[in-house]
Chain A
């Protein structure tokens, strides 16, 4: 009951609730289960792709360029992987999808405290997620509840609460971090893109082959 207790703050014995929690656990961690959640045709495509931690032919810094994207297992794998990342200072990240360059998805991310901003490149066409992290990141030891979206957020990350609410239909909203984790930062307006990040954002947006508006 350990992590579930910590996760939801209670020692519930109710069977239905325990099952729901186990289900969420699988969404967050179980790579095979994450594949089950995608369309069968796509699942077949993901399973037939090579499983590796890093593209052996990739060039450039891992995760920071479309020529060396992070391999993950489908869209849920994207959420699971990115939600596990934390900076060397122990800050997890909020993220949203900007669009894609070819088959590589481009995400904008900001640390929970708003101090660091990133552009990350992820390739979802693989059967499992990478065990590596981009330079400057490590995997969190916390329960990696989802902290970002596969959609473009116009007012990222200030629209986190609304976007999270919109996940109810997908059945993933229970797997998301509590609003309280970021509400103070949002209220205090700590998320301000630095100049270098703005420039990167412009450049990457000018190169997107598909843009997500909503």
Chain B
């Protein structure tokens, strides 16, 4: 087993992470594990261990090098080690929460321990929190029942008197602490300066019976009030109401902001004037002591938090930071900033672990993206859950960082990783739904990280636009499908089905996909016998380059309805394709006419001699219908014209539509202008 020293009492023990046989303390938190590993011969020489032991026993600042702590924290990422630490039985004699100093920070001023006043948890039958002792009761003033106005002689007398009842060494140390000018100041600052001896005695007594009532005390000097509140935190147990505790921490933090060294100096010197001890003249001594006090307050709060179930701890931290920063908008009191820093160190391992899980899930989602959305969704589901968990734990740090005007780096990096997945899922795999979900998740979870919030808001807007466009396009597609779908039975005896739908146009078992149709024609021929109408035969033909289907029918309603559907399903496309072909400079034949973008070549018919081709610009021609044909002629020469049969000429109706549309456009020079 390794040679190690206890992180709490400085005694030698075998094994860095096992309980100390002297004080029963066992490391329980990540920072305590790290410090404990650093305080072992795994990371320190025997000389260093002796020095650390000396520092801990004398309440000095631990001089553990940062590199040792980094190595220890790195080792604490090992999953099996973490599992073992979680399963490690705690010493039965160890207190429910070890009073542990923060790593490499100075612990609170060591108070003499009165053996007969060992701390114990309040009995469960009593609903209100009660204490049997507190750090304040272990002050030298309390141990010897000395007031701040007692002189040296009185202190010595009381120490002798108390030695008869209490541990002699404890009493002598308390006497020494109060009579030695160097150590007296620490004891005074940790006591109730500015409070009368009688009131001080009463307050300390009340602390045991109703510690939380001290929060309502008014008119107390700030430092004394803070010392009482810090002691009251010892009454917080695992069942304490989270909201109330957050409120309590906020009250303490705001009060700590009001600490004024000059007021403390004045209060202490007023008592010293009575007790006969020399006045404190060095202002910086007071400031240094107050700095230590603030560390102690942070430690007292942290110690109380450590007694809470993990998720309650996170809740209290979040509520506290949220409250003091107004959701990350205002600066927090320094005590809260320190508390958050301490919290960040403690949860670093958990965040790293959760972060790694997120990385694994992102990788898995990417790896499976090629298999489609169904394969990716389970990973996005898990990612959602893990990221939420991560965010819940990181929330206090995010709020604090935002209030300090900085981004929480780990949150930002994680958010960017998720964003990168969201972008890839959309750009590379067209998974809009999953991408939107991830962006929404980032927006929800990382709103406290300004850089992310801004960036992701733009992403979300872009994806929402795309989503809307797709939705509209899909709706239009559905509408279009409804509009063009039609089916009719043709024939009297033997019926055949004529149908049109997004899948194509079918007639007598022959199907033409819509996109394959390159030509359409239709028209009706009225019949009569001796001038008496005998009905109309309608012809509809459609086909591709290789074949054509021709439908003949008698019913006008079927004919009209089908032509309407055909127009929407096919002719609009043919019209567009025709205009695009013209725009590319191609010329298209329609009967005798040759269609160009800027005009049409017609035939000048001559009575004698051969006909002549005449190219007319669009402003030179006019159109009309006659004898089942679409006619185009020159305005200035009746001999120049062309007639294109509706029923026999391919796409005559499309041509007519294009030219008539063009004529409605003032100043049209090219038909392709219709595309604009």
Contact = CB atoms under 8 A, between A and B. Distances in A.
A associates with B:
yes
Interface of A: 60-61, 64-65, 67, 118-119, 194-200, 202-207
B371 to A, nearest CB: 24
A196 B81 contact: yes
Contacts of A197: 78
16 contacts: A61-B83, A65-B83, A195-B71, A195-B72, A195-B74, A195-B75, A196-B75, A197-B78, A198-B42, A199-B17, A199-B42, A199-B78, A202-B15, A202-B16, A206-B1, A207-B88
A206 B18 contact: yes
A98 to B, nearest CB: 12
B84 interface: yes
B87 interface: yes
Contacts of A64: 80, 83
B2 interface: yes
A200 B78 contact: yes
A199 to B, nearest CB: 6
B43 interface: yes
Contacts of B85: 203
A202 B2 contact: yes
B42 A203 contact: no
B81 A199 contact: yes
A202 B81 CA distance: 10
B208 interface: no
Nearest to A194: B75
Contacts of A67: 87
Contact of B1 (A60, A200, A202): A202
A197 B84 CA distance: 11
B668 interface: no
B80 A61 contact: yes
A152 to B, nearest CB: 14
Given A195-B43, A205-B1, A60 B75 contact: no
Contacts of A194: 75
Contacts of B80: 61, 64-65, 118-119, 200
Given A60-B83, A202-B16, A206-B1, 4 more contacts: A195-B37, A196-B77, A199-B78, A207-B88
B146 to A, nearest CB: 44
B666 interface: no
Contacts of B16: 199, 202
Residue of B74, B87, B88 ringed by the most chain A CB atoms within 10 A: B87
A204 B78 CA distance: 15
A195 B72 CA distance: 8
B251 to A, nearest CB: 40
Contacts of A119: 80
A199 B74 CA distance: 12
Nearest to B89: A207
Given A65-B83, A195-B71, A203 B76 contact: no
Interface string B82-95: 01110111000000
Task: State the majority secondary structure of interface residues on A.
Answer: helix
B83 A203 contact: no
Contact of A61 (B18, B75, B79, B89): B79
A154 to B, nearest CB: 14
B81 A206 contact: no
Contacts of A203: 15, 17-18, 81, 84-85, 88
A125 to B, nearest CB: 22
A65 B75 contact: no
A65 B76 CA distance: 17
A205 B14 CA distance: 11
Contacts of A202: 1-2, 15-18
A198 to B, nearest CB: 5
Interface in B73-127: 74-81, 83-85, 87-89
A206 B1 CA distance: 9
B84 A204 contact: yes
Contacts of A204: 84
Nearest to B78: A196
Interface string B458-500: 0000000000000000000000000000000000000000000
A206 B15 contact: yes
Interface in B59-80: 71-72, 74-80
A207 B18 CA distance: 10
Nearest to B19: A206
Interface string B16-57: 111000000000000000000100001100000000000000
A200 B84 contact: yes
A13 to B, nearest CB: 49
A198 B40 CA distance: 11
Given A205-B1, A206-B18, A199 B83 contact: no
Given A204-B84, A205-B1, A199 B75 contact: yes
A199 B16 CA distance: 7
Nearest to A200: B81
A200 B78 CA distance: 9
A71 to B, nearest CB: 19
B577 to A, nearest CB: 59
Interface in B224-271: none
A66 to B, nearest CB: 8
A143 B295 CA distance: 61
Contacts of B37: 195, 199
Return the 4 tightest CB-CB contacts between A and B, nearest first: A196-B78, A196-B75, A195-B75, A202-B15
Contacts of B76: 196
B90 to A, nearest CB: 12
Contact of B87 (A65, A195, A199): A65
B507 to A, nearest CB: 64
Nearest to A64: B80
A146 B90 CA distance: 38
A198 B1 CA distance: 9
A150 B78 CA distance: 26
Contacts of B83: 60-61, 64-65
A200 B87 CA distance: 12
A128 to B, nearest CB: 26
Nearest to B41: A198
Contacts of A195: 37, 42-43, 71-72, 74-75
A41 to B, nearest CB: 33
Nearest to A204: B84
Interface string B304-317: 00000000000000
A195 B18 CA distance: 15
A200 B1 CA distance: 11
B223 to A, nearest CB: 41
A121 B3 CA distance: 26
Contacts of B43: 195
A133 to B, nearest CB: 15
Contacts of A199: 16-17, 37, 42, 75, 78, 81
A199 B43 CA distance: 11
Contacts of A206: 1, 15, 18
Contacts of B72: 195
A112 to B, nearest CB: 20
Contacts of B84: 65, 200, 203-204
Contacts of A196: 75-78, 81
Contacts of A198: 2, 42
Contacts of A200: 78, 80-81, 84
Contacts of A61: 79-80, 83
A206 B37 CA distance: 16
Contacts of A60: 83, 87
Nearest to B88: A203
A43 B143 CA distance: 67
B649 to A, nearest CB: 74
Contacts of B81: 196, 199-200, 203
